[in-house]
Amino acid sequence: MLVLLAPGQGSQTPGMLSPWLEVEGTRERLTAWSELAGLDLVELGTVADAEAIKDTAVTQPLVVAASLLAFEVLADRYPLPDDLVIAGHSVGELAAAAAAGALTPDDAVALAAVRGREMAAACDLAPTGMAAVMGGAPDDVVAWLAEHDLTAANMNGAGQIVAAGPIEAIDAIVAEKPDFVRKVIRLKVAGAFHTSYMAAAQDALRAKAKEVTVSDPAHTLLSNADGARVTGGAEVLERLVNQVTLPVRWDLCMATMNELGVHATAELPPAGALTGLAKRELTGTTTAALKTPDDLAKVAAALTTADEE
């Protein structure tokens, strides 16, 4: 069984779309998505520097477009297995939902543009931030964060929890670092994503979502909220909206992957982070990070491995 992973914000790198635009038809596809997003995704994905693509309003639609561009190339070249499992991290859930057939790719990119733009605006309403806490028992880390009025916004598994909340509280945990954690790293992000500080962005996304037509997923689709399989299109869309202010439970998504017997993972561009987590948490799983079209052969091998298990 193969699980297809769609990464989230922070995975972007300058020039990440350049090799994909060498594939016939992809430039036209990205140009069309640029119109939907109100951004030049071609320029942003090829020649823009790291500073230009770190803005939340830019990054989110760019990352979703990158994943879907590669997914369409993948699906065109290789038959996808009927038992395919798909999961996305944070904004990557929009790409995952489209890959699973619950959303159209056009709607996924348009929703990502609204999500990114409105989350960037919400970050300006209060001084907030995030920090990665490495190591420590999850329950101990969550309790420690609560003492500082912080939320465990991303529980990523493999000993990684991301704290989010008021900037002064982030400063405090970076300075304090108790003995039961390995290290605390301040993240270069605009604000406290996946917390109540994003409520205004959630309202804006909910309004946009009313314009979207959904379908039931054609493949197994896992939710960040609880790692559960979501089978109804309306529920997929509702969970995508709610996730703006809810923690990302990637640890539970990986636990479900284990329960389903997943033996191989393939991460869509901009690939790397989720593959690293899979290597540490999904013991014995074959992994493939799809960074360029040259990596498609790795996915074919992963498909073969999954079929043989």
Q: Could you give the CA distance from residue 95 to residue 270 in angstroms, rounded to a whole number?
A: 12
Report the residue count for the chain. 309
Tell me how far apart the alpha carbons of residues 98 and 83 are, in angstroms, rounded to a whole number.
16
Tell me which residue of 270, 198, 274 sits closest to 241, measured CA to CA: 198
Pull the structure tokens for residue 29: 């596809």
Is residue 123 classed as helix, strand or coil in its secondary structure? helix
The beta strand positions in the chain, using DSSP E, are 2-6, 85-88, 128-134, 151-157, 160-166, 183-186, 220-221, 264-267, 286-289
Asked whether the beta carbons of 255 and 120 are under 8 A apart, the reply is: no
Residues involved in catalysis: 90, 194
Taking alpha carbons only, the member of 22, 6, 3 closest to residue 293 is 22
Burial class of residue 148 (count of CB atoms within 10 Å of its CB; 0-12, 13-18, 19+): middle
**What is the CB-side half-sphere exposure of residue 203 using CA atoms within 13 A?**
7
Distance between CA atoms of 219 and 84, rounded to whole angstroms?
6
- 3 state SS for 71-117: HHHHHHHCCCCCCCEEEECCCHHHHHHHHCCCCCHHHHHHHHHHHHH
Tally of CB atoms within 10 A around 89: 26
